[in-house]
Amino acid sequence: MNRVVHPIEEESYRRLRARLDTSHFPPLTRAVVERVIHSAADLDYATDLVMDEGDLEKAHAALHAGAPVVVDVEMVGAGITRRETVCRLKDAVAGPGLTRSAHAIRLAYEQVGPGALWVIGNAPTALEELLTLDASPALVIGLPVGFVGAVESKAALRESGLPAVSNVSEKGGSAVAAAALNALLYHPTSDPEEKS
């Protein structure tokens, strides 16, 4: 993907790297950590994020091969600037024991099937629902935000063994979830050692 980087973004990354040494991270992990920090201006994400480079490599390949990208809310989709996303929240309805966000995840899975990249930045119940499905995801970016259920849903994601990007704190949100996906999207496919 040819992408022109604006001088403001270049300067932001220069300042980020002046304040935090990210050179010890493997290439895709570094890309995710830096883009998430860049999106939130929060250096603590360097130690809060949890991911595996091997999982990121497989997800990167799937993403660039055209795997679908599912988001829990339109705001996450709006942050993913160079890829169409699937969001079924408008079609979803809440019911007994089922939030609207969880129902949207069911609807999205019916639409895309296994092998998608799932980007959840808003609703812990969306992440919880995804974990009940046999979705066989290429990657789950599970970064919902909040004081109720966010930490627990992200811990459950890590315990599930699914390929994932998550974090251990209550922090998260649409911007950081979209940033994590964009890091993989913007990272070059020809030279995995090249750093963005």
Per-residue pLDDT, averaged over 163-191, amounts to 93
The per-residue pLDDT for 81 is 85
**pLDDT above 90 (res 168):** yes
Q: How confident is the model at residue 2 (pLDDT cuts 50, 70, 90)?
A: low
Catalytic-residue membership of 60:
no
For residue 196, pLDDT over 50 is answered with no
pLDDT score recorded for residue 190: 60
pLDDT at 121: 97
Burial track 84-100 (b if 16+ CB lie within 10 A, e otherwise): ebbbbbeebeeeeeebb
Would the pLDDT of 184 be above 70? yes
The 10s digit of each residue's pLDDT in 3-62 is 777 888 889 889 999 999 999 999 999 999 999 999 999 999 999 999 999 999 999 999
3-state SS, residue 189:
coil
Q: State the catalytic residue, choosing from 38, 60, 103, 187.
A: 38
The pair of structure tokens assigned to 75 is 């705001």
**Residues 99, 101, 102, 103: what is their CA dihedral angle, to the nearest 10 degrees?**
90
pLDDT in tens, 74-131: 999 999 988 999 999 999 999 998 999 999 999 999 999 999 999 999 999 999 999 9
Task: Give the model's pLDDT for residue 192.
Answer: 42
How many residues are given for the chain? Answer: 196
Contacts of residue 167, defined as CB under 8 A and 6 or more positions apart, other chains included, come to 45, 48, 49, 50, 143, 154
**Is residue 115 within 8 Å of residue 106, measured between CB atoms?**
no
d(CA 128, CA 156): 8
